[in-house]
């Protein structure tokens, strides 16, 4: 069992937890993920490692309450435990040789973008961060992004953050203002990553995207997380989760992401009972 050392409600639907998992914390790197089960009867779900503390032996995860399993996880409080916490899995973010990078995050994908931005910053890379949310009340990790960014741009769909724009608009402005990036890293909804990649391809800027399709075992055996990248089949769990955004078949990935929409909606029948839980510490 893995104890929840800290629980924090970041916004109405996003929760952060620090899990006591010394073996995972010892080897975790930015860009990697874990697979957990809330209890012995639960399904396996992948979650990106948001941060880690090797000395304390803790790993932070940030997740959005979207289905039955994340609701069960969100119901857990500080001091309680979860059944399984396996990792680190996947390949870490490549940082060698990079001098200036734009990290683009969208919505809850910012939970994945943050450890990447921080890792690059700690590695001595100049980091420009662009993050977008639907509205101000959904913003997460604002201060954390500011602390690890040489330039920080926050936008929202409704303008409640102070600027109404898409992340692609903000990125294009920076590029056309003369900013030269060795790489752009986009993390968020599939449609957002698709259009960021389309934009950067016009300017010839190498682009990495973080793919998070349905996973079951996390070892490449089940094939559930397969993607088409450059005409070849890849598995997000072992070949990724980061891939060349200019080579990913986003239309196929978007179509595959809808396969279990009906089942996911069915699992939401008891949302009202669990969403009334008080936030954590």
User: Dihedrals φ, ψ of 193, to 5°?
Assistant: -65, -35
What's the token pair of residue 206? 């190498």
272 C-beta neighbours (distance < 10 Å), count: 8
CA dist 147 and 165 (Å) reads 23
Beta carbons of 262 and 256 less than 8 angstroms apart: no
The CATH class, in words, for 100-257 is alpha beta
Q: How many residues does the chain have?
A: 281
pLDDT band at 259 (very low <50, low <70, confident <90, very high): low
Q: Is the pLDDT of residue 260 over 80?
A: no
Whether the per-residue pLDDT at 166 is higher than 60: the answer is yes
Return residue ranges of the chain for CATH 3.40.50.80: 100-257
Query: For residue 271, what are its two tokens?
Result: 């949302």
The mean pLDDT value of the chain amounts to 87
Name the CATH topology of 2-89. Elongation Factor Tu (Ef-tu); domain 3 (2.40.30)
Select from 223, 221, 220 the least CA-distant residue to 238.
220
- pLDDT beyond 60 at 96: yes
Write out the residue limits of the CATH 2.40.30.10 domain(s) in the chain. Answer: 2-89
pLDDT in tens, 61-76: 998 888 888 899 999 9
In the predicted structure, residue 101 carries a pLDDT above the cut 80:
yes
């Amino acid at each position: 069992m893995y104890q929840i050392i800290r629980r924090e409600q970041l916004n109405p639907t996003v929760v952060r937890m620090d899990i006591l998992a010394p073996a995972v914390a010892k080897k975790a790197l930015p860009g990697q993920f874990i697979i957990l089960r809330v209890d012995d009867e639960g399904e396996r779900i992948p979650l990106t490692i948001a941060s880690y503390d090797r000395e304390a032996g803790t790993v932070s995860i940030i997740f959005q309450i979207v289905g039955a399993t994340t609701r069960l996880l969100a119901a857990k409080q500080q001091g309680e435990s979860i059944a399984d916490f396996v990792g680190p899995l996947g390949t870490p973010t490549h940082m060698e040789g990079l001098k200036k990078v734009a990290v683009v995050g969208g919505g809850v994908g910012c939970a994945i973008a943050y450890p990447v931005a921080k890792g690059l910053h700690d590695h001595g890379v100049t980091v420009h961060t662009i993050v977008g949310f639907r509205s101000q009340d959904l913003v997460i990790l604002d201060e954390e992004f500011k602390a690890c960014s040489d330039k920080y741009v926050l936008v929202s769909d409704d303008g409640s953050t102070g600027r109404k724009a898409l992340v692609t608009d903000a990125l294009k402005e920076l590029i056309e203002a003369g900013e030269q990036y060795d790489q752009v890293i986009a993390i968020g909804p599939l449609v957002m990553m698709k259009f960021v990649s389309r934009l950067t391809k016009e300017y010839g800027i190498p682009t990495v995207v973080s793919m998070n399709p349905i996973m079951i075992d996390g070892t490449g055996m089940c094939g559930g997380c397969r993607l088409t990248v450059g005409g070849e089949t890849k598995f997000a769990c072992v070949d990724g989760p980061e891939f060349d955004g200019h080579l990913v078949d986003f239309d196929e990935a978007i179509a595959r992401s809808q396969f279990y929409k009906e089942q996911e909606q069915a699992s939401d029948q008891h949302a009202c009972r669990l969403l009334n839980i008080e936030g954590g510490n």
